[in-house]
Amino acid sequence: MIDGPTRRRRIVLAITGASGAPIAIRLLQVMRRDPNVEVHLTISPSGAAVLHQEMGLQLNLRAVNLNDLLGCVPAWASEPAPEFTPIDPSGDDRLHYHQHDDYMTPIASGSFLTDAMVLCPCSGSTLSGVARSAASNLVQRAAEVHLKEHRKLVVVPRETPMSVLQIENMHRLAAAGAVILPAMPGWYHDVQRLEDLVDFVVARIMDQIGLDNALIQRWKDA
């Protein structure tokens, strides 16, 4: 954990090539609204492909326009894009983007202090790479760092059915200290819209990384 009485929570978010891009974008947007959260974002090439297919985002991973992510909503959304303060092209101290193949970036090192990392969505290949400690990109390296430093790692797979090998990889990660949080929404929180199902998963992720939220009506809340 990062020391200091007024520190921000520092969260790493990695988007990889599994279905579930709306969950990742919603998580990023919600965290961005919290002035006490600093997000370090990385996206794999397969993750960018899924963002294009599911969210209509056309990203250049060498020069990502973060405002496109912050203002994006899926085509089926019942509400307009959320209001946000655009990021100045000169930089922003609460949202940082790291290229997927840049091993010299801060999140590749355990000496860079973070509070948690979220793999959302987590592809089968990412799951395998992290479980075998065989990082082939920054996403997997940063996840390995969180495991070796005993920091919170939340893994959000979204695939069905799952093979025995995938289940074994999840077991390996859970045994190493990761939280396995499949993108399985509940239906008990007065679901009215598709966004409610997305918010259920986002809320459960935020609970795990210690961020307050009121995205859903919790079980038996008055």
pLDDT tens string 99-143: 999 999 999 999 999 999 999 999 999 999 999 999 999 999 999
Q: Tell me the three state secondary structure of residue 25.
A: helix
With a cut of 60, say whether residue 222 has pLDDT above it: no
pLDDT tens string 164-213: 999 999 999 999 999 999 999 999 888 999 999 999 999 999 999 999 99
Q: How far apart are the C-alpha atoms of 20 and 6, rounded to whole Å?
A: 33
